[in-house]
Structure 1
Amino acid sequence: MDKARGTAIHDKKYETFIQWLQANNFPESKLVLANFTNTGRGMMASDDIQAGEVIVSVPRKFLMTNESLSKIYGSNHALSSHQLLALHLVMLKQDKQSWWKAYIDLLPVHFNTMPVKYTQSLLDHLPTALKEQVSQQKENIYSDYLACLAYLKSNPAIIVESIQPEDYEWAWLCVNTRCIHMTKMEHSAKGGNIALAPMLDFLNHTTEAKIESGYNVRNQSFEIKTLTPYRKGEQVYINYGPHDNLAMLKEYGFVLSQNCYNFVLLDHEVWTLYEEMETKQGFDVKKQILEGAGYFGDYSIKDDEISFRLMAALRLLALDGATEPGFDRKVMDWHDVVMGQTDMIDPENERKALIMLQSICNRVARQAEEEIETLAHITEKHPEAEFHPFALYFLRQVWNESNGIITQTLADVKEKLATL
């Protein structure tokens, strides 16, 4: 975990925010907003923090929840918690007299490091799986926007200024990047029990942070307890969960310099290989086998691991004669491996599967190297393109990490082939 000291922020908006908290009896904490060289804005320890301390406690009245919003919008609607929270943020931003104004003013101005906001010149260079997920995220945001417009149209009593798609997108991304998941408070929220919590949402993420969090019924507050000690001046972190850097980039707009959860997804390459090597009938037969055994898709490699699912798919592909008599016998041998009764079908099948993996990794390595080279000169090729410098930095890091995992996997495959 990075131990770099931060520089406390003393701008007017933050001071107004702190005054708002104090005026409304928000519990004091040993956290102050600060700038850090490597992570940007985050929370810094203003004093030593011991393991086991509650680092922030957010009282119920400061929690923007499905329950609190139902008092404004009612509960007889089809909006999910995410849709409703985003709609409410838009309305609060329009209301200059809102009780929440000090908090709203501190929310991010833009989300230009998130792929959903990338210009086409960067979108074109996302990994295939991430590109598809970002496209779906764009569709989700717009469909949520339309759902909120339909809700407002059917509830003319709720007075709101015109809501533009970009306003709703900003609010949707605020919720997506800053919400917490509630426990023991509400069980009826549609589409996930989430909430916004001032102060708590300024804490940055690292996989090394150990915390306990949840709604404390006794004092009616959402609390985060750190199991990691901090010294005065250090950045205080929370842990968002076991996310790889592609997920971190899509959902939060940043990546970690060292992320033990990183992997490379090879589904597209595996299915391309199936199409190249199998007849249409043979492809259908083997697809049904994979689906029936629960091994269809989710084929990945990590720095120190070739997924069992991936090898299962390649071992099946390495079996000849999918449409010939006697293939059922071969599939029974394949099932023995899948069920853990034996390590391999036979050395020849294992060799073929590993050579297929080698071929796939070589293809992906070439793509990664091409992308790294292209991104190194993208500002020269697209001088008119406007994108956040961190967006480019993060995208280059993602491809470099993928290339590193592929290189390690190729070395492991070479070693395995040498033993057969």
Structure 2
Amino acid sequence: MKSRSGRRARKKRRKKRGEAVNVTLSHEASFVALRRWLKQRGFSSKCLIPASFTDTGRGLMATQPIEANELVISLPERCLLTTSSVLKSYMGEYIKRWKPPVSPLIALCSFLIAERYYGDTAEWSPYIKVLPKSYTCPVYFSNDIMDLLPLDVRKKAVTQKEQFEELYCSSLPFFLSLQPIFTQPVEVVFTQDAVRWAWCSVNTRTVYMEHAQSDFLSLEKDVFALAPYLDLLNHCPEVQVHAGFNELSRCYEIRSVRGCKKFQQAFICYGPHDNQRLFLEYGFVASGNQHSVVYIELGTLKLCLNEADRQLQQKLLFLKDNDFLRNLTFGVDGPSWRLMTALRLLSLKPEQYSFWKSILLGAPVSQDREEWCILKAQVLCQHLCDDSSNALARIAQLKEGADGARLEQLCLVESLRREEREILECSKQVLRNLLPQSSP
């Protein structure tokens, strides 16, 4: 007898099997208002609707097949929020007379905060209302969660937080100059949390679009454009698209290279970024990211070196001068060529000084030196594995009782650490296979 179970039962079965369950969001009031507002500005989309996906959260779902090389979305210039939009707004006169000029980033951040403050009366209110209320970028992380990040990412995340705090403090005088626009004190409107939200909105949701240099803004490159609706498209490392502003149609267009099936999520690709970069710049990690690697810091590299080597500092300086102390990595296919090349140079004996340059050009070393390099790579790999396992154990403890944003942050770091451990386990196997097998 044919099953008569409904849509809800089918969704439950798919969820139980671990399949992605898509729930349309197009009926929600905020998205109805956004689509109506965009239609007034010349944009409509019948082939893409907002939906919630179990694996990525909010995104856009194809309601019909999208063919290869077909236009996925075409957003008119009127729908793009740029510094030009800000300069033409009620905030424009304040930006134009401020000296020294503010950066394009601060101009956009200030406008987003002001529009959020004005609520329903704001011109861009339908867009502001669908923006995330907070983000999972490192600037939101507490120190104890930051400490759980891999060392290389942690250093960059700490730098990011410091740069944001410096930007906030240096921008306070300009924020205060905007007081006539608000009935409440500026200090209440432009809190650090409000600026953090706006900063993340601009940094994670804008598309790249070059603009002519404005006399009223700083000399920093102006390449930001907030793109309502289009910014719901999520990143997928395997997807290929052609994206950019079409000067003829005056629209920002995205064209799919391979197409998309009906009722599947439509994706774009931000570029060949590993998950550490995606985490730092956008606040997420992509599962099955073929670009992901594990980075080795100089401090970690030194753990496997002989401090008694009188040439050690000279070797490290030589590697630094030749740009061989960065991008040293482990991948699923083992240690990178750069890492093994650096180790080969570090393995050389004092009398082999004349071979330094040739090693960086790919010259081989003796069998015993090559085995030394493999063994040292194993030491590095095991050290990073242990660090990852310790971090995962600590994350499991902190997740107990955690909820809301804190739990979301912990889960994100956990994903990053799990991927790291998987990569290192693959590298360990590759390194074992590189060592000569002992005779039975």
Asked if these proteins are the same fold (TM beyond 0.5), I'd say yes
Alignment correspondent of 1:109 = 133
Distance 1:403 1:137 in 2: 25
Q: In the TM superposition, what is the alpha-carbon distance from 1:385 to its structure 2 partner?
A: 7.8
Deviations 1:318-344 (A, max 9, x none): 1233xxxx4xxx23323223213x3x1
Q: Residue type matched to 2:326 in 1?
A: G
Report the residue type matching 1:313 in the other structure: A
Give deviations 1:64-100, integer Å, cap 9, x for gaps: 2233333312397443322221121111111232110
- Sequence identity of aligned pairs in percent? 27
String of CA shifts for 1:162-186, please: whole Å, max 9, x gaps: 3111000011011111011114x53
Q: CA deviation at 1:27?
A: 4.0
Is 1:351 paired with 2:380? no
Q: Equivalent residue for 2:186?
A: 161
Distance 1:385 1:15, change over 3 A: closer
Mean CA deviation greater in 242-251 or 208-217: 242-251
Match of 1:70 among 64, 76, 87: 87
1:118-197 maps to which residues of 2 (within 5 A)? Answer: 118-153=141-176, 161-162=186-187, 163-183=190-210, 185-186=211-212, 190-197=220-227
Determine the C-alpha separation between the residues in 2 that align with 1:280 and 1:84: 54
- Summarize the Cα distance change of 1:181–1:214 in structure 2 as closer, same or farther, 3 Å threshold: same
Closer, same or farther: CA 150–357 of 1 in aligned 2, 3 Å: same
Instruction: Tell me what 2:357 maps to.
Output: 335
- What is the identity, as a one-letter code, of the residue corresponding to 1:407? E
> Residue 95 of structure 1 aligns to a residue in which SS?
helix
**Mean CA deviation greater in 256-265 or 345-354:** 345-354
Instruction: Work out whether 1:409 is the aligned partner of 2:409.
Output: no
User: Does 346-355 or 143-152 show the bigger shift?
Assistant: 143-152
Contact 1:245 1:259 in 2 (8 A): yes
SS of equivalent residue, structure 1 residue 14: helix
**Paired amino acid for 2:204:** T
Is the alpha carbon distance of 1:281 and 1:195 closer, same or farther for their aligned partners in structure 2, counting shifts above 3 Å? farther
State the TM-score, normalized to the length of structure 2. Answer: 0.84
Superimposed CA distance per residue, residues 295-321 of structure 1 (whole angstroms, 9 cap, x where no aligned partner): 132211110142222112211221233
Paired positions, count: 405
Cα shift readout 1:267-319 (whole Å, capped 9, x = no counterpart): 24544336x51359633311221123231322111101422221122112212
Contact 1:17 1:102 in 2 (8 A): yes
**Structure 1 150/396 Cα, relative in aligned 2: closer, same or farther at 3 Å?**
same
Select the residue among 292, 314, 322 that pairs with 2:321. 292
Aligned partner (choices 255, 258, 263) of residue 228 of structure 1: 258
Gap regions ≥5 residues in structure 1:
none
Q: 1:365 aligns with which of 365, 385, 389?
A: 385
Counterpart amino acid of residue 186 in structure 1: A
User: In 2, Cα distance between the equivalents of 1:166 and 1:154?
Assistant: 19
Which segments of 5 or more consecutive residues in structure 2 lack a partner in the other structure?
A: 1-17
Which residue in the other structure is 1:200 paired with? 230
Alignment partners' CA distance in 1, 2:341 and 2:436: 20
CA RMSD after TM alignment: 2.6
Inter-CA distance 115–88: structure 2 relative to 1 (3 Å threshold):
same
Q: Assess, with a 3 A threshold, how the Cα gap between structure 1 residues 70 and 298 changes in structure 2: closer, same or farther.
A: same
What does residue 304 of structure 1 align with?
Answer: 333
Deviates further, 148-157 or 223-232: 148-157
Identify the structure with bigger relative contact order (alpha carbons < 8 Å, sequence gap 6+). 1
For 1:334-373, what per-residue CA distance to the aligned partner results, in whole angstroms no more than 9, with x for missing partners? 3223213x3x121121111111111111111111222222
Give the Cα–Cα distance (whole angstroms) in 2 for the partners of residues 81 and 237 of structure 1.
28
Q: Offset of 1:6 from its aligned partner?
A: 2.1
* TM-score, length of structure 1 as denominator length: 0.88
Per-residue deviation at 1:3? Answer: 9.1
Is the CA contact (8 Å cut-off) linking 2:65 and 2:262 kept in structure 1?
A: yes
Query: Residues 280 and 80 from structure 1, CA distance in 2 versus in 1: closer, same or farther, beyond 3 angstroms?
Result: farther
